[in-house]
Amino acid sequence: DDDIFISSPERAIAALIAPYFARRCDPRAVVAVAEDAVSYTPFNAGVLAVRSAPAAATLLRRVYELGARQGLAWKRDWEQSAMALDYNSSAEARAAYCVVPPTVLQSLFRDYGLHPSQLWRPGHFAAHLTGLDETKRRHFARCAAELSSPPPAPPF
């Protein structure tokens, strides 16, 4: 999404999701998505980790075509809506998705409606600035960059 701030770029995304692909997900999974903080959707597609594999290209093409058929393509959150429709369409489709705990790929950052355990903190891989206006997004990005950088070396 365009409202994602990668706050810990030094953390390898493959290392973050590997334990879930190894223990929790179907071996056919080709995309990792974060479990959503709200109950009406199976996941939040703000950050996707996609395997480099023909099956991933097939999944993304299927999702795009589904979104286009449903009249969703290029509307707000269309990719998440189309992916949720695909995910819920069958066990076979669901096997392509590895849904990881909410803070593995992204943590939400907003000033309403979330439990503190769901909120972004320094050290998390990415902040999803959902529901914030542009001024708040820019302010967050400046603050997070400062919080995420190592302290300056002492002047001696």
Does the CA dihedral 19-116-31-51 come out positive or negative?
negative
Cα–Cα distances in Å, from 56 out to 16, 17, 30, 36, 44?
19, 16, 5, 21, 18
What pTM did the predictor assign?
0.81
pLDDT tens for each residue of the chain, 156 residues long: 878 888 888 999 999 999 999 988 999 999 999 998 776 788 999 999 999 999 999 999 999 999 999 888 777 778 888 999 999 999 999 999 999 998 899 988 876 777 788 888 888 999 888 777 778 778 877 777 776 666 666 676
Bridge partners, residue 97, by sequence: 31
3-state helix, strand, coil in the chain (%, to 5): 40, 15, 45
In residues, how long is the chain?
A: 156
Residue 150: the pLDDT is 62
Do the Cβ atoms of 17 and 37 come closer than 8 Å? Answer: no
